[in-house]
Amino acid sequence: MEYVYFIDNASLVIRLINFLIKTPLFKESELTVVNQINGWVIRLKAPYFLTQLQYGNLRAFLEEIGYIYHPKVKMNLVFCSLDMGETPVKVMVDYQVAIVSHGIPNTAEIEAFRLQFSQGLGYCPKTLA
């Protein structure tokens, strides 16, 4: 199953990643995190089919921190390229997007991006808070 959501800030993305890491069912899921000017697009690919209860719990959590995102053509091409095995760096160059993380959920990449971006700007925008 695939879930694509828009999340307003980095703290909520980190909260999602911590939720996935602590939930055995989603520990091995694939998470793609793309930073945009106005927030974050995340795509979660669950490795297993979920029961109705598991699906409901995941949807409730995702809707608590963000909302369903309907990707436009460009973002669909980004996801498709990643699925076909292209490296995140090549996809970023080809489609001019900022892929912050792709693969097993990990907060380190989000934290590093947030720190580097804030240091470069000299302040922390609300999407990185």
Q: Tens digits of per-residue pLDDT, 16-49?
A: 999 999 988 888 899 999 999 999 999 999 878 8
Q: What is the pLDDT of residue 127?
A: 79
Domain hosting 120: range is: 2-128
pLDDT at 124 over 80: no
Cα gap 114→66, rounded to integer Å = 19
Tokens of 95: 């489609």
pLDDT in tens, 86-120: 999 999 999 999 999 999 999 999 999 988 887 77
Cβ proximity of 12 and 67 under 8 Å: no
Q: What is the pLDDT of residue 120?
A: 74
| Domain count within the chain | 1
Q: What is the pLDDT of residue 32?
A: 97
Residue 9: give its domain's CATH number: 3.30.70.1950
Task: Name residue, tokens 């608590």.
Answer: 64
Cα gap 12→113, rounded to integer Å = 15
Task: Name residue, tokens 């980095």.
Answer: 10
